[in-house]
């Protein structure tokens, strides 16, 4: 027998305690949507540069490393150069939607599956990137696994330059436009994982990758 999700049970209990009729819910949701549509944004900071340049500046501040290629066809070779420069094996796991790239021609053994504990490198794209903060935004789905940007020590992101938005609010708007809603699972990643819990000393890789490398792809190819 199908059970009511925990979230729905909690919300239903809150409505009962507030003496609100369950039948009011659709009207309340419509009212909230209408408010969001007409409510203006708050003040947004000026970037002071083109979005791609601001993204590069802010990403580097967060200890993300960057490369740039002209077309998607050049991306595998850029990944291979990065792995060789860091003494990493020419092997990785990658999102399903990157299967069309010519990994073998670049000398890379790439498996398209979720990462396991022993996998050192993951390769993904991202939903978009935010110039204001230098952050990468991931919308998880059955084929874009959150573990790919959380588990391996090295995370390489192929970023379509056209997917760089100015502000975080633009990322939310893009989700609503392209996905219909903000997905239940999305992550905003700003550089390698870090913590300062121990003696206020920043340590990379405490809760995720300690290397984040972005290959910006300028055009389709």
131-186 pLDDT, tens per residue? 999 999 999 888 889 999 889 999 999 999 999 999 999 998 899 899 988 887 88
Does pLDDT of 2 surpass 50?
no
What pLDDT is recorded for position 86? Answer: 95
Residues whose CB falls within 8 Å of the CB of residue 110, separated by 6 or more in sequence, listed in order:
91, 92, 93, 94, 98, 103, 123
Instruction: With beta carbons less than 8 A apart as the criterion, state whether 152 and 88 touch.
Output: no
In total, the chain counts a number of residues equal to 221
At 218 the pLDDT is 92
Give the span between the Cα atoms of 101 and 80, in whole angstroms: 13
Is the predicted pLDDT of residue 24 greater than 70, yes or no? no
> Which residue did the predictor score with more confidence, 11 or 211?
211
Q: Return the number of other C-beta atoms located less than 10 Å from residue 97's C-beta.
A: 13
Residue 1's pLDDT is 39
Is it the case that residue 109 has pLDDT exceeding 60? Answer: yes
């Amino acid at each position: 027998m199908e059970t009511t999700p925990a979230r729905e049970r909690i919300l239903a209990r809150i409505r009962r305690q507030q003496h609100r009729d369950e039948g009011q819910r659709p009207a309340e949701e419509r009212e909230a949507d209408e408010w969001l549509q007409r409510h203006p944004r708050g003040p947004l900071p000026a970037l002071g540069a083109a979005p791609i340049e601001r993204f590069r500046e802010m990403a580097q501040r967060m200890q993300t490393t960057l490369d740039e290629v002209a077309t998607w066809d050049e991306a595998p070779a850029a990944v291979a150069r990065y792995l060789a420069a860091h003494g990493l094996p020419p092997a990785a796991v990658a999102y399903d939607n990157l299967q069309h790239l010519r990994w073998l021609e670049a000398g890379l053994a790439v498996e398209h599956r979720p990462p396991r504990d022993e996998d050192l490198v993951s390769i993904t794209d991202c939903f978009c990137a935010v110039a204001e903060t230098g952050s990468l935004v991931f919308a998880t789905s059955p084929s874009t696994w959150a573990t790919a940007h959380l588990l391996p020590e090295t995370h390489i992101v192929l970023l379509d330059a056209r997917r760089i938005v100015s502000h975080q609010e633009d990322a939310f708007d893009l989700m609503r436009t392209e996905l219909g809603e903000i997905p239940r699972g999305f992550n905003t990643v700003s550089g390698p994982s870090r913590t300062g819990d121990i003696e206020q000393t920043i340590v990379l890789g405490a809760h995720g990758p300690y290397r984040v490398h972005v290959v910006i792809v300028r055009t389709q190819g």
